[in-house]
Amino acid sequence: MKITMGSIPIYRQIIDYFELEIASGSLEPGEKIDSIRNLAQQFKVNPNTVQKALLELERDNYIYTDRTNGKFVTENEEIITGLKKMLIERFATEFIKGISRLGFTKEEVLHMVSEAWEVVYE
């Protein structure tokens, strides 16, 4: 993942990265997460920034800490399903806000999305 300097805080970019990795299954339930030091080197950020992001992910129950073994992805499927739904709503809201400025009707947009889906997945 590449961290960018911009309007989105770095710790939020790290949270977004982990949320997507967990929701997509790239990080599997129960999978061990790299150490804060390794993640800080990977993202090229201060370890405190990584710690802040992981604390928020843990607060939201997307990860948990085993005191002796490190941090792991939640194994709770309900939490993962809720995360997926939250991400769909976030992406859909961003898409709708952006596309609505172009003046298309809901039906036109749904038709275009359906066609695009077919192109990508056929």
* Residue that is written with structure tokens 């056929």 in the block: 122
Please compute, for residue 101, the number of CA atoms within 13 A of its CA located in the half-sphere on the CB side: 5
Q: State residue 122's pLDDT score.
A: 79
Residues 6+ apart with CB under 8 A from 16: 8
Q: State residue 4's pLDDT score.
A: 74
CATH code, 1-122: 1.10.10.10
**Residue 108 reports pLDDT greater than 80:** yes
**Annotated domain spans of the chain:** 1-122
Cβ atoms of residues 47 and 34 within 8 Å: no
Tens digits of residue pLDDT in 19-66: 999 999 999 999 999 999 999 999 999 999 999 999 999 999 999 999
**Residue 1 reports pLDDT greater than 80:** no
- Report, as an integer, the average pLDDT of 107-119: 93
Tens digits of residue pLDDT in 63-93: 999 989 999 999 999 999 999 999 999 999 9
Residue 5 pLDDT level (bands cut at 50, 70, 90): confident
Distance of CA 100 to the CA centre of its chain: 24
